[in-house]
């Protein structure tokens, strides 16, 4: 469904995406993780056709840069930062619904489930809503239609715990008929939803892990982690998993159960800026 070949993006002289190649199949649900500045948002913006870049991108065989409207017609997108729209909420919903060929009432319903009563704010300017209210409305617009591809950039960052739970329930209702790419700093939160984890660091993919099927759940995995430099906090975390380090303190090896894979990745993802390489190999039975 999505194909990237050697995608590179530079802002002025800074290389932000450094040769990303990736294939995402129909029905995959990806957690895109990585530290601040790793390139997640830039990758998403390239997928949506917003940036000029080197290399090739196609979504359903279509180049998003050349045929942006065709690609966006099938994408439900939640941005990390809400756009500064002055439009009143009611008008924004009608406009978005018209653009996506959906009913405004579907958007209202999802907003209501997230705890946002549209009738009370219909005439207010979008830009004057609170951060959480904006996020709820943008989620409602993205989910209030039949998009086959959902791309979400830190969608739950501004939500209170109650709304977060409902948001993930809403996504769970869509797992049968949507491919998802969700950028998040909290792998623990998205782990129940996703079936693939992609970790980025300084513009590269450092981990691409298709989540365990039942066979792998009962397996053991040999892990090797290479750090940029020794660090006491990650050392403590890895010792907790009974990992051992080499003489320089930068390469750690250990074994985890297949069933613990996501929990382990969730722990490692807290230190993602320190990790240069992470290998997980299934041990032969």
Ligand X SMILES: Nc1ncnc2c1ncn2[C@@H]1O[C@H](COP(=O)(O)OP(=O)(O)OP(=O)(O)O)[C@@H](O)[C@H]1O
Contact residues: ligand X, CB under 6 A: 11, 16, 34, 36-42, 80
Cβ closer to ligand X: 191 or 216? Answer: 191
CA distance 153 to 78: 6
Cβ closer to ligand X: 27 or 132? Answer: 132
Cβ closer to ligand X: 134 or 145? Answer: 134
Shortest Å, Cβ 40 to ligand X? 3
Shortest Å, Cβ 68 to ligand X? 18
Shortest Å, Cβ 157 to ligand X? 9
Cβ closer to ligand X: 52 or 69? Answer: 52
Shortest Å, Cβ 51 to ligand X? 8
Shortest Å, Cβ 275 to ligand X? 14
Cβ closer to ligand X: 108 or 201? Answer: 201
Terminal-to-terminal C-alpha distance of the chain: 34
Cβ closer to ligand X: 51 or 241? Answer: 51
Query: Taking the CA of residue 180 as centre, how many other CA atoms within 13 Å lie in the half-sphere pointing to its CB?
Result: 31
Shortest Å, Cβ 200 to ligand X? 6
CA distance 40 to 130: 25
CA distance 132 to 130: 6
């Amino acid at each position: 469904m999505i194909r990237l070949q050697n995608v590179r993006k530079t802002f002025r002289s800074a290389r932000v995406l450094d040769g990303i190649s990736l294939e995402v199949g129909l029905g995959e649900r990806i957690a895109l993780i990585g530290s601040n500045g790793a390139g997640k948002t830039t990758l998403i913006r390239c997928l949506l056709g917003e940036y000029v870049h080197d290399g090739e991108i196609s979504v359903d065989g279509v180049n998003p840069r050349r045929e942006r409207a065709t690609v966006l017609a099938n994408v439900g997108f939640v941005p990390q930062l809400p756009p500064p729209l002055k439009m009143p909420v009611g008008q924004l919903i009608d406009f978005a619904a018209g653009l996506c060929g959906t009913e405004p009432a579907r958007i209202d319903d999802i907003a209501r489930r997230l705890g946002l009563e549209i009738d009370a704010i219909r005439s207010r300017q979008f830009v004057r809503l609170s951060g959480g209210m904006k996020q709820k409305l943008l989620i409602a617009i993205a989910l209030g239609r039949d998009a086959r591809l959902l791309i979400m950039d830190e969608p739950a960052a501004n939500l209170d715990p109650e709304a977060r739970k409902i948001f993930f329930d809403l996504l769970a209702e869509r797992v049968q008929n949507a491919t998802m790419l969700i950028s998040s700093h909290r792998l623990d939160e998205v782990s129940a939803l996703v079936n693939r984890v992609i970790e980025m660091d300084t513009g590269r993919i450092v981990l691409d892990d298709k989540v365990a099927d039942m066979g792998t759940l009962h397996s053991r995995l040999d892990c090797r982690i290479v750090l940029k430099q020794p660090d006491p906090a990650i050392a403590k975390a890895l010792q907790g998993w009974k990992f051992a380090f080499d003489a320089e303190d930068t390469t750690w090896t250990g074994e985890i159960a297949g069933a613990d894979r996501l929990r382990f990745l969730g722990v490692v993802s807290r230190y993602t800026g320190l990790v240069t390489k992470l290998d997980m190999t299934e041990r032969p039975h």
